[in-house]
Chain A
Amino acid sequence: MNAIEARGLCKRYGGTRAVDDLRFEVAQGEVFALLGVNGAGKSTAVRMLSGLTPPDAGDALLMGRSVARERAEVRRVVGLSPQESAVAPRLTTRENLELIAGLYGLPGSRAAEALEAFGLAEVAGRAAGKLSGGWQRRLSIAMALLPGPRVLFLDEPTLGLDVLARRALWDLIESLRGRVTVLLTTHYMEEAEALSDRVGILRAGRLTALGTAEELKARARAASFEDAFVALAATQEVE
């Protein structure tokens, strides 16, 4: 069974086709990067795949469960770190993690473990809304990971992180490889190239390229992955 199977997902907002007939598969334990310029439809795709936004047409299977018909089951297997940091501002870092443990019916000790595991101990007692953007982001990602999801969606996870925090997150994603399926979006090409087993490129809601970073480089006859992205994110050809 694949972890993710997108089967012709479509979403329109008014006249714009945010996501148009999206089809791809991600194997269990794979790290997959979804790329595309601003407005290409990455976040919309993530929201549909994680069972938040119902697709206008098409469906997707998450660990074999339909996002259109089995949202409750899908929620049990997915974790999401939204593009904007999602924290309760007046709660402390620790209380935010305890909240998540509670929402998933997990013991409060998981919050203490997460504080250590994600290097958040030093800001444990500070109000989340008063943390710097990067710290909020770290907390937000820790909150997505705490329940131990089978499939993890990270929408621009490293936006606003300092170099050390970014490295730490890369190591974390690396450690998840093989155990947790990770779909991440990013505007940093070196990140996509370093982390992901395969890459998909969205252009105006349509998937225009799919493959390993090496394959895409070869296909675009580009010297670097960034050059390949520039070439592919601008073409209309569908793989």
Chain B
Amino acid sequence: MRTLSLAKRGLLEMVRDPLTLIFGAGFPLALMLLLSAIQSRVPVPLFAPERLTPGILCFGQSFLALFAAQGLSRDRSSALMLRLLCSPMTARDCLLGWALPLLGLALAQGTLCLGCAFALGLDVNPRALAMLAAALPGAACQIALGLLCGSLLNDRQVGGICGALLTNLSAWLSGAWFDLSLMGGAVERIARMLPFANCVDAGRAALAGDWAGVAAPLLIASGWALALSAAAGMAFARKARAA
């Protein structure tokens, strides 16, 4: 219950911030329309709806990390944090109170992207829903990563690291915009270990109905989600103790 109260507050504060709409929904949708428009003139297999949609989802999710980090670091620098820490809320309650509304946003974002993909010609079938479900570990990764950054960094650092670095890094290493094998070597190997490309792969496999192909990348992404959540929890608890 306590956590839900905080979650409600997080949701209201994010929904009332126009940047949430612009970055969380506007930006991914605009990119999707743009790339599809290009695709319709000059066919690029990578930008066909069944390959593009999981990539757009992954791209959109990187903004969840930004929202998570910004919200948390802003909270930490404000006196409101003292109030939360002085209440019966534990550090875990507080972090969950941030994570839950972001997961809600992730679902809304995913549904919106999917709707747009349907409009652009993606087959309407149950596999699309499976792709949406397969995108959840990716969302969890980004949210946990954001909460980790928000626990460690201040407001200004968050803008640079999550706003610029992380969104770009996760986009390049996701394999959404170009085939990772083009890079080859160490970069490709690193990208295949990180969650971003695995999330995109899982989504593409789900859309293709290749269930065996979903499992492995999903497992890796879920592992990352767990590890990052644990790291965020520890970082936040440490900061909270030393308030």
* Pair A80/B5 contact, Cβ less than 8 Å: no
Given the known inter-chain contacts A86-B80, A86-B82, please indicate yes or no for A103 contacting B88, CB distance below 8 A.
yes
Q: Which residue of A lies closest to B74 (CB)?
A: A89
B21 to chain A minimum Cβ distance, whole angstroms, is 14
Contacts of A88 in B (CB 8 A): 9, 13, 80
Q: Quick check: which of A70-78, A164-172, A187-195 contacts chain B, the rest being far away?
A: A70-78
Q: Cβ of B87 < 8 Å from any Cβ of A?
A: yes
Q: Cβ of A95 < 8 Å from any Cβ of B?
A: yes
A75 to chain B minimum Cβ distance, whole angstroms, is 5
* Pair B83/A47 contact, Cβ less than 8 Å: no
Contacts of B89 in A (CB 8 A): 103
B-side interface size class: 20 to 34
Q: Which residue of B lies closest to A76 (CB)?
A: B88
The CA-CA distance from A76 to B81 in the complex, in Å, is 17
The CA-CA distance from A83 to B80 in the complex, in Å, is 11
Residues of A38-75 contacting chain B, CB below 8 A = 47, 50-54, 72, 75
Q: Which residue of B lies closest to A46 (CB)?
A: B82
Contacts of A80 in B (CB 8 A): 82-83, 86
Q: How many inter-chain contacts with C-beta < 8 Å in the A-B complex?
A: 82
Contacts of B9 in A (CB 8 A): 88, 91, 95, 99
Q: Which residue of B lies closest to A50 (CB)?
A: B86
Partner of B87, one of A85, A90, A95, A103: A103
Q: Cβ of B212 < 8 Å from any Cβ of A?
A: no
Given the known inter-chain contacts A47-B243, A52-B86, A75-B88, please indicate yes or no for A103 contacting B2, CB distance below 8 A.
yes
* Pair A90/B86 contact, Cβ less than 8 Å: no
Contacts of B79 in A (CB 8 A): 82-86, 140
* Pair A82/B82 contact, Cβ less than 8 Å: yes
* Pair B82/A75 contact, Cβ less than 8 Å: no
29 chain-A/chain-B pairs, Cβ below 8 angstroms: A52-B85, A52-B86, A53-B243, A54-B241, A54-B242, A72-B88, A76-B88, A78-B86, A80-B86, A82-B79, A83-B79, A84-B79, A86-B78, A86-B79, A86-B80, A86-B81, A86-B82, A86-B83, A87-B80, A90-B12, A90-B16, A102-B2, A103-B6, A103-B89, A104-B2, A104-B88, A105-B88, A140-B79, A144-B83
Binding site for A on B (CB under 8 A): 1-2, 4-6, 8-9, 12-13, 16-17, 78-90, 241-243
8 cross-chain pairs, A with B, having the tightest CB-CB distances, nearest first: A102-B5, A86-B79, A84-B79, A82-B79, A90-B13, A86-B83, A86-B80, A80-B86
